[in-house]
Structure 1
Amino acid sequence: MVFLTLALLRVGKNKMTPYSMREWKRVMQRRLSWHFRNRKRNCYRLSLCPVKKSLRFSTTVRPIRRRNINHLFTNRIAAGCAQHGVQYSSFMRALYESNILLNKKMLAQLSIYEPRSFQSLCEFAKKRHSELVQKGLAVALEPLPSGIITRDMIKKSV
């Protein structure tokens, strides 16, 4: 029986034996603490609390970071639109209605690194908006979804 367990330990590191589980735990701890400095990086015991704290911090900050990045993308696109004389909201609406599926990240990168491509998108949005105005289907005149009551509807009924 003793020989059998030794053979199993030698044969498979893929099997979860107590030794391999402990080794895996330490390897994961080292991976999570690679960016620390001094002994917190190298010593298993000293890295336990900082790793736990950094994981907790990364999960609490994640939505805030996403919101900040989204604001950054919006500001970059709005600045690019302002250069070409288009409002951000009408630009995004024109792209959405025309089924141009570019997310905010790509539009922000286009506005910075590909100004001519972004200029063509702005001109397309201007053209689309002018077509809607000519047809009399401006944004303010479009029918609202059902269930919404506006002041104009109340004034007309009185």
Structure 2
Amino acid sequence: MVFLTRHLLYRRFYQPHHDRSWKKEMQNRLTWHFYGRRRNCYALQKDAIRRSLRFATVVRSSRRRHVNYIFSDRIAAGCAQHGVQYSSFMRSLYENNIAIDKKVLSSLAVYEPRTFQSLCEFVKKQHTEKVYAGLAASVEPTPSGIVTREMVDKVYKS
């Protein structure tokens, strides 16, 4: 937008309440998605705008929570298809420093099933390695009365 004089610039941005056309234009911008007379009638636009802005402010936190539930449900459904629990899937991704947020994971589960399947296979592999490591540690005989450096390191690293 080009302003030919300083007066027009000042009038446009610093005194909008004196310019009635600016106010009407702003209200038209805020009501472009409404239907019927609320969209076109200036007198009805004011109340509709006030209500919609108040609703958007009040509902903002619950909308975020609802979207987060949708993401979690989609990921859980994808995990169930591949025989992995949601909680162990998320924990395994976190422990292996795979930083993919829920939004991306849910879109992978819905639109990229092979990629999500590879993530599930990775989680299964990590789980079986942990189980085998746990069984090997429990089956391994420990000498009585002898403490080695490897035994101490094994305790402090895990």
Instruction: Give the TM-score of the pair, scaled to structure 1.
Output: 0.72
Q: Distance in 1 between matches of 2:53 and 2:13?
A: 28
Q: Give the unaligned 5+ runs of structure 2.
A: 136-158
Q: Distance in 2 between matches of 1:105 and 1:17?
A: 43
Match of 1:118 in 2: 116
> What displacement does 1:25 show?
2.9
- The structure-2 alpha-carbon separation of the partners of 1:98 and 1:40, relative to structure 1 and needing over 3 Å to count, comes to same
Quick check: 18-27 or 44-53, which moved more? 18-27
Corresponding residue SS for 1:136? helix
Equivalent residues of 1:9, 1:17 under 8 A apart = no
Counterpart residue identity of residue 120, structure 1: S
Corresponding residue SS for 2:26? helix
Match of 2:97 in 1: 99
- Out of 103, 125, 128, the position equivalent to 1:127 is 125
Quick check: 75-84 or 41-50, which moved more? 41-50
Match of 1:31 in 2: 29
- Out of 108, 117, 121, the position equivalent to 2:106 is 108
Identity of aligned residues (%): 56
- The structure-2 alpha-carbon separation of the partners of 1:84 and 1:43, relative to structure 1 and needing over 3 Å to count, comes to same
Q: Distance in 2 between matches of 1:111 and 1:33?
A: 36
CA deviations on 1:15-55 (whole Å, 9 max, x unpaired) are 52357654433322111111122222123222001110011
Equivalent residues of 2:16, 2:22 under 8 A apart = no
Query: After the TM superposition, which segments of 4 or more aligned residues of structure 1 sit over 6 Å from their partners?
Result: none
Q: Distance in 2 between matches of 1:18 and 1:63?
A: 32
Q: How many residues align?
A: 131
Counterpart residue identity of residue 57, structure 1: F
Counterpart residue identity of residue 86, structure 2: Y
Q: Distance in 2 between matches of 1:130 and 1:46?
A: 64
RMSD across aligned C-alpha pairs, in angstroms?
2.3
Q: Distance in 1 between matches of 2:13 and 2:116?
A: 54
Q: Distance in 1 between matches of 2:71 and 2:118?
A: 19
Equivalent residues of 1:81, 1:122 under 8 A apart = yes
